[in-house]
């Protein structure tokens, strides 16, 4: 599996977890509202708070997993074929060029606003 695929799967798993959490939370709150244990307004507020907490948790875990995968990527370089290493070098060069262009554009924007 390519490194990008792994990151993509981790991201999609996080999104799926958030969606599942939101759906389950909504169902629980709807049942409590039906039973009259919560007012509709309390239920909405509670639901929003739970969604926010779920998103924060997912962001926290996804960033940890992505960071962990970087070390896995570094380790996997040793097992790459010459063709895979060449593709990786080309991709790195592309990203470096894009970052350099962004930095130059920001620098130009900074000078044009100062004039």
Write out pLDDT tens, residues 18-29: 777 777 877 887
pTM for this entry: 0.35
Q: How many residues does the chain have?
A: 115
pLDDT band at 96 (very low <50, low <70, confident <90, very high): very high
pLDDT band at 107 (very low <50, low <70, confident <90, very high): confident
Tell me how far apart the alpha carbons of residues 41 and 13 are, in angstroms, rounded to a whole number. Answer: 31
Q: 49-78, pLDDT tens digit by residue?
A: 888 887 777 777 665 555 555 666 777 777
Tell me how far apart the alpha carbons of residues 81 and 48 are, in angstroms, rounded to a whole number. Answer: 49
Task: Say which residues have a Cβ less than 8 Å from residue 1's Cβ, sequence separation at least 6.
Answer: none
């Amino acid at each position: 599996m390519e490194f990008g695929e792994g990151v993509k799967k981790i991201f999609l798993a996080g999104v799926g977890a958030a969606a599942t959490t939101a759906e389950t939370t909504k169902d629980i709150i709807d049942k409590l509202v039906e039973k009259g244990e919560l007012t509709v307004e309390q239920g909405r507020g509670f639901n929003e708070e739970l969604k926010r907490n779920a998103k924060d948790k997912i962001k926290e875990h996804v960033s940890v997993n992505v960071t962990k995968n970087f070390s896995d990527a570094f380790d996997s370089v040793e097992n790459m074929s010459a063709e895979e290493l060449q593709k990786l070098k080309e991709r790195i060069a592309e990203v470096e060029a894009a970052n350099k262009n962004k930095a130059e554009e920001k620098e130009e924007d900074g000078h044009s606003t100062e004039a």
